[in-house]
Structure 1
Amino acid sequence: MAPNSKLDGVLSSVLLQLCLATLGLAAPVVVESKNSWQYGTGGGLLGLVILILDIIVFVEVLQSTRPPVQKIVWCLVVFLFPVVGMAIYYLFSNRPSYQRGSGYETLA
């Protein structure tokens, strides 16, 4: 087994655990107080959409040809700052140069 594939397996398992922890934390919270600023806590439909988009970013980062350190840094940025990190990734990550197997190869 190549060292790169072993590291990718470890990164994938860590990412899966982080996603499962995020799902557990995104559960709706029952609010007993009458403070209106607490009604939005716990996720909801917008939280689910952001979670799905973040998972797409994680998969894209882990399947890219980036060095492992860059993969970890991008995953941490998106995990710690879900909305802003995702926007930063799509704007500043130079995605086309790191895509693995993009496009079709011509037949001879």
Structure 2
Amino acid sequence: MLQLFLSLLLQFVLADAAPVSAQGHGNSWQYGAGGGVVGFVVLILDIIVFIEVLQSNRDVIPKVLWCLLVFLFPIGGMIIYWLFSNRAEHNRRSGYETITEGA
């Protein structure tokens, strides 16, 4: 399921990054909304956020909302996620489980 989601996401993002007609301008900044190297770095960081959210121990609705936020606002959503998501609490690998006495 995760692979299907990531492949659909990549197809959507890469289709949006197609070059815009820049005939005679010679200005590389006029190419598609993908943003070249910067867009690729943002895409990789967003994929890392998607993987981290989907592997967390959150409920389904918060997972969908975080993924939707990052999908609709790639840079701002990623920053908001890293600042306000309380990642350490929802990380499945965030430490050891406590051993209860008398068990």
Higher Cα Rg: structure 1 or 2? 2
Equivalence for 2:39:
47
Percent of aligned pairs sharing the same letter: 53
Residue 29 to residue 44, structure 1, CA distance change in 2 (3 Å): same
Number of matched pairs: 96
Matched, 1:93 2:85: yes
Q: Which one of the candidate residues 45, 54, 59 is aligned to 1:62? A: 54
- Contact residue 65 and residue 99 of structure 1 kept, 8 A: yes
TM-score scaled to structure 2, two decimals?
Answer: 0.76
What amino acid is aligned across from residue 84 of structure 1 in structure 2?
G
Q: Which one of the candidate residues 14, 39, 52 is aligned to 1:23? A: 14
TM-score scaled to structure 1, two decimals?
Answer: 0.73
The C-alpha deviation readout for 1:31-79, integer Å capped at 9, x for no partner, is: 2375x7x615342000000000000000000000000100000000001
SS of the residue aligned with 2:68? helix
- Contact residue 21 and residue 31 of structure 2 kept, 8 A: no
Which structure 2 segments of 5+ residues have no match?
98-103
